[in-house]
Structure 1
């Protein structure tokens, strides 16, 4: 019975592999009722992003009001926001409606290298969205950018929290590219991010060499989620897929740890059963559990 509801706030992918389109496929696979608010329209395929048109903030606000005045979501996934104005509109909606179980995938750059987040939007996202969500899910390159931000914005006298000091070695000494993504770097960064923004962080390890282990720090403890690398070029939309799956699991009442663990298993299946569509980084098979022929 489809009695759980999940809202995705993200950009539209004309190729169908990422963004709103991927999110809604995930929600279908999980048997939840999916709703959407579109922040930007992209001309995009498996080869790259050719064009981005942001939607005006008043249009994003109208979509949010239309959905939330009628249907309260059990969880929310936020993906590509693109502009500072959209970040502000989304932040206001979270506060006004008291939205819970909010998963933020901080989409900054597409897999083909196209910028999907303006610099002023990145600042707004850090300042006003991070503290209001349940979980932030950066990959290693995105976590590296967040680490650079902390390194540049925190003086030694400021690098303190209610539970002690930030791991200075991680922020100051381990900011070298060679260290980015190492076990120690990942653990220290997840802790530092959580302490600074007061929310949980899942640093995804798909960009690392070897097994793609992810690391969750929930504000109290850290947990590694080992994974098995699937050798395929069809990886378009993996971040969207994982964050949406986590949101679906939270909507169903899973703990954060359980939600991440199950979503990671689901994503592995999506990769293993990818249909091989497209000439570039192809799409995943979001409905692999349904065994559709």
Structure 2
């Protein structure tokens, strides 16, 4: 990083009161990767690792005004979206993102605990209005199945879904394979130049916030000027550590630990 020059990234997402996902996880990730984090809050949630008890979306105009304000005040290297909640917010984000901006769209639909975070009637707006603006889309397996309109079985199915989603207009697609059963965890990057697979250890426990953390790491790397494939590999290495060092009491869902820093336990 050049001395005196700020490298900034902005997350457009919901606030997680439990601190493990959403804007809180994004900011922790940005800090670990040396990027100044900006925020646009789309919703306030009452949640912990086990449940989303309630969610209160902000008015679309509040989301739009936040985007316009930070865009005017900072040179933002990359943008990321997470929980958008409803169709009106999806459209507000798509209309407000600066033209030509690097953007990572994490199509958050359902929380780890099963709470819907994107209304069903908003999916068509996500596909038709926002995804064509995306530099990269980062669905997990259930999200990729919805977007691609197909059942995913195995790594070959992940790649096939990635190509279908790419045809919807995104610049590139990362299909995250953590939901697939079996051996190693495989993520696949699909871009018009071809595919790239990265494998890593599969950890046999549930982790809250891993999707947010990965897409935030990818956003931070792109904001720093790294190429897409380099960013993909770096983000995958980062999330591997964050999952391996996830924290939480035995028997409960663990919380992703960006950077793998030691967290004091009594």
Q: Same fold (TM over 0.5)?
A: yes
Deviation at 1:77, TM superposition (A): 0.8
Q: Distance in 2 between matches of 1:198 and 1:206?
A: 22
Q: Distance in 2 between matches of 1:276 and 1:99?
A: 40
What residue in structure 1 maps to residue 82 of structure 2?
79
Over aligned residue pairs, what C-alpha RMSD do you find?
Answer: 1.7
Q: Distance in 2 between matches of 1:267 and 1:85?
A: 31
What residue in structure 2 maps to residue 126 of structure 1?
127
Deviation at 1:198, TM superposition (A): 4.2
Deviation at 1:120, TM superposition (A): 2.2
Highest Rg: 1 or 2? Answer: 1
Q: Is the 8 A contact 1:140 1:181 kept in 2?
A: no
Q: Is the 8 A contact 2:17 2:45 kept in 1?
A: yes
Gaps of 5+ in 2: none
Q: Is the 8 A contact 2:246 2:257 kept in 1?
A: yes
* Corresponding residue pairs, total: 260
User: Per-residue CA shift, 1:137-182, capped at 9, x if unaligned?
Assistant: 001111111122xxxxxxxxxxxxxxxxxxxxxxxxxx45xxx241
Q: Distance in 2 between matches of 1:108 and 1:264?
A: 21
**Which of 227, 236, 258 pairs up with 1:264?**
236
> Which structure 2 residues correspond to residues 204-283 of structure 1 after superposition, within 5 A?
204-209=176-181, 210-233=183-206, 235-276=207-248, 280-283=252-255
Q: Distance in 2 between matches of 1:116 and 1:25?
A: 21
Q: Distance in 2 between matches of 1:104 and 1:280?
A: 29
Deviation at 1:278, TM superposition (A): 8.9
For residue 53 of structure 1, give the secondary structure of its aligned residue in structure 2.
Answer: strand
Q: Distance in 1 between matches of 2:80 and 2:191?
A: 18
> Which structure 2 residues correspond to residues 21-36 of structure 1 after superposition, within 5 A?
21-36=24-39
Q: Distance in 2 between matches of 1:118 and 1:285?
A: 29
> Which structure 2 residues correspond to residues 1-293 of structure 1 after superposition, within 5 A?
3-94=6-97, 97-148=98-149, 175-176=150-151, 180-209=152-181, 210-233=183-206, 235-276=207-248, 280-288=252-260
Q: Distance in 2 between matches of 1:225 and 1:8?
A: 25
Q: Distance in 1 between matches of 2:123 and 2:83?
A: 11
Q: Distance in 2 between matches of 1:103 and 1:198?
A: 10
Q: Distance in 2 between matches of 1:279 and 1:101?
A: 39
Relative distance call for 1:277 and 1:9 in structure 2 (3 A) is farther
Q: Distance in 1 between matches of 2:68 and 2:60?
A: 12
Q: Is the 8 A contact 1:230 1:271 kept in 2?
A: yes
Higher strand proportion (structure 1 or 2): 2
After TM superposition, what 4+ stretches of structure 1 lie above 3 angstroms from structure 2? 277-280, 290-293
Deviation at 1:102, TM superposition (A): 0.5
Deviation at 1:122, TM superposition (A): 1.2
Deviation at 1:132, TM superposition (A): 0.5
For residue 255 of structure 2, give the secondary structure of its aligned residue in structure 1.
Answer: coil
Gaps of 5+ in 1: 149-174
For residue 213 of structure 1, give the secondary structure of its aligned residue in structure 2.
Answer: strand
Deviation at 1:83, TM superposition (A): 1.2
Q: Distance in 2 between matches of 1:48 and 1:134?
A: 31
Q: Is the 8 A contact 2:15 2:45 kept in 1?
A: yes
Q: TM-score, normalised by structure 2?
A: 0.92
Q: TM-score, normalised by structure 1?
A: 0.84
